[in-house]
Structure formats: structure tokens, C-alpha cells
Amino acid sequence: MQPTDNSPALTLAEAKAQFIHTWGVSGASWGVSKTLAQVHALLLVSPAALSTEDLMEQLTISRGNASMTVRELLDWGLIYKELRPGERREYFIAEKDMLQVTRCIIRARKRRELDQMKRSLDQLAALPGDAADADYRAFHSALTDIQQLATVSDKLLTRLMQ
Amino acid sequence: MQPTDNSPALTLAEAKAQFIHTWGVSGASWGVSKTLAQVHALLLVSPAALSTEDLMEQLTISRGNASMTVRELLDWGLIYKELRPGERREYFIAEKDMLQVTRCIIRARKRRELDQMKRSLDQLAALPGDAADADYRAFHSALTDIQQLATVSDKLLTRLMQ
DNA sequence: CACAAGTTTCAATAATTATTGAAACTTGTG
DNA sequence: CACAAGTTTCAATAATTATTGAAACTTGTG
């Protein structure tokens, strides 16, 4: 007797929906909004470009939300506008090369978080103080260690972006 | 005339407070709670171990918050308990080696997010389908690309952890 | 075993963040 | 230049997430 799998296989649409859900959850735990991640996921697995209307419909989100999310994804460089001659409506298509996608994400996050952090650290490290004070020395050395880590990370990320 | 900087220099306590604030903001944008990041920052720049009481006082947070946050930091491996003989109260001290700190953070996030994502992707990639259907092929190929990226990231992160 | 000195849990609440949706805006066309 | 077909903005609101604080629990000691 050949064992046959009785559970109904996922349809393509269900598989896509599940992927969009997973991508949304992941995004949320890295500090980006669930909708942003979901719109990105939907466009990643769409062979064709989609309009704002399509996004609203397929993800049941509002026009405003769709508009702002799409703008942010354009800003990250993760999606492109596709303009069709003679049509008013804008279509969006995702960068499909995952290496490029990675670069975009690293570039954006580095700029927003790491560079900002380095600036704060530099400012704090400039604090003049009494080198005889153990407490001051401890703080300063902690700061220097963190700065060094920031510098190393910066170099590594820059290299990863090629 | 020698130009003298008139702005009052930061005191050590102010500098620490500013560091704690910055670290808190950074943490928040990477999806960890502000308090978690702040407790970590405070312990990072404290030469001595601190008790729950100390944390509550210095960050003006509740006992419950302090307790849960400390437990989570222990779980990440970012802080240690220091027990003093004959004392009931627990003291906490941060891992100060930033290389170790990085490892702990990578290990925890990899386990929580990347490994989880890989499992979801594997499950979706197992979807049987009609290889003649262009839509199916497009989805499958997107999925494979993402899986490959996940695998490469996994290897890179594992290497970074040494 | 009662008590003191702590820690943990978790339901209620506060604070924050994301989302809606209607009004304002933009742009191309007859 | 009026209108149609879209997009964007942003105040109000909904949803989510973090925090409080009091009660329950734990553990060592006289």
C-alpha cells in the first residue's frame, strides 16, 4: 500500500499568502512596519507590476497606507515605479535580485542607525575629564570599545555592499 | 586671544545619561524595547554590579519592568548575576567585551529570526506544482533566491560568531 | 513554622505606533 | 479652464506593545 498524503496541498495563492504573512512577521521583529514588509513581499512574488489599487485590494489596506508604504519602499530603493504610456495610474515592481535587495537594506539601515550612533559616540568621547578618576576612565574605555566596534561594523557592512 | 569654549562641559553623570538615552533609541529602532536597551547601557558603563533596586532608581522604572528586563538580558547572555555571600539581593554586571556582546546578539537574533524564517521557506519551497505554469515557476524561483540568501547569511553570521 | 527580604507574575493601564479615510492636492485632456 | 482620475497628507482613531504595581511566590533564618 502506497502511503498517500491526505492533507490538501497548498494552492499557489495560499503559498503566496503564507509567504507574505511570514515576511510581515519577520519585518515587524526588525522594526519595520508589518504593512511595509507585506507590500514588499507581495511585489517580490508578483511577476507583473501592481498598482496602488491592486495593493489595497490584495492586502486589504487603505489607500493612504498603500501610498505611504510605497513611497517608503521607493526611498529604500526596494521597488521601482513603472509608468505606462497613456496611463495615469502608477505601477510598482520590486527589485528581484536578492543581492541588490540586501544592499539596499544594509545601506538604508547603516545610514539611519549606525552613522547616527557613531556621531553620538564621537560627541560623547570628546568629553574632557580627570584621568585620575577611576569612574571617568571606566566610562571612557567602555566608550572607546563601543566606538571601535562601530567602526569595524561600518567597514564590514561597507564591504558587504561591495 | 585664545578662544575658550563657553558651553559648560558635560559632567560624567550627564554623559552617561546621554549614552543610555542614545543606546535606548537605537535599540528601539531595531525592535528591542527601550528599557531593555537602557538597562543594558547602564550596566555597560557601570564599573560595579547593580541591584534591581539600583536599576529602578537610576532609570525610574517599576520593579516588575526591571525584573523582566533583567531576565531577558540574562537570556541573551548580555549580563550576569553576581551573588554576594550572605546577601539575598541579586546584583547584575554586564559582559564588557564588545566582541562577546556582538556574538550574543547575533546568536540570539539568528536563532529567533533567521532560523525561523528558514523553516518557513523550506516548508513553502516544498509546494508541488505545475512546472509548465509560468506563475508557479516565478514564485518558485523567487523563493529559491530568498532561500539562498538566507543560507549565505546564515553562514556569514555563523562565521562572525567564530 | 512565622517572618523578613527579596523576586516574579500578570491583569489593568498607559504609551506608542500604525492605519484609516476624507479633504486637499496634482496633472493631463477635451 | 472644468473635470476626471489619480496621489498625497494628516488629524483622528485603532491596534499594538510596553509598563506598572499589587498580589503571589520563594527562600533563608531565628
Q: Strand C positions with any atom < 7 Å from protein CB?
A: 5-11, 17-23, 28-29
Using the CB atom, is residue B120 less than 7 Å from strand D? no
Which of B44, B113, B133 is opposite residue A26, by nearest beta carbon? B113
> CB distance A113–B26 less than 8 Å?
yes
Using the CB atom, is residue A63 less than 7 Å from strand D? yes
Q: What is the pLDDT of residues B1-48, one digit of tens each?
A: 444 444 456 789 999 999 999 999 999 999 999 999 999 999 999 999
Q: How far apart are CA B66 and CA B56, in angstroms?
A: 6
Nearest residue (CA) to C1' of D9: A64
Q: Is the pLDDT of residue B70 over 70?
A: yes
Residue with cell 562577546: B100
Query: Which among B22, B4, B99, B66 has a CA at the least distance from the CA of A145?
Result: B99
Using the CB atom, is residue A55 less than 7 Å from strand D? no
What is the pTM assigned to this prediction?
Answer: 0.91
Which stretches within chain A are classed as H helix?
Answer: 12-29, 34-44, 52-59, 63-76, 98-109, 115-125, 134-160
Q: Largest Cα–Cα distance in chain A?
A: 83
Q: What is the pLDDT of residues A66-91, one digit of tens each?
A: 999 999 999 999 999 999 998 999 99
Dihedral in degrees, nearest 10, Cα atoms B21, B74, B151, A15: -90
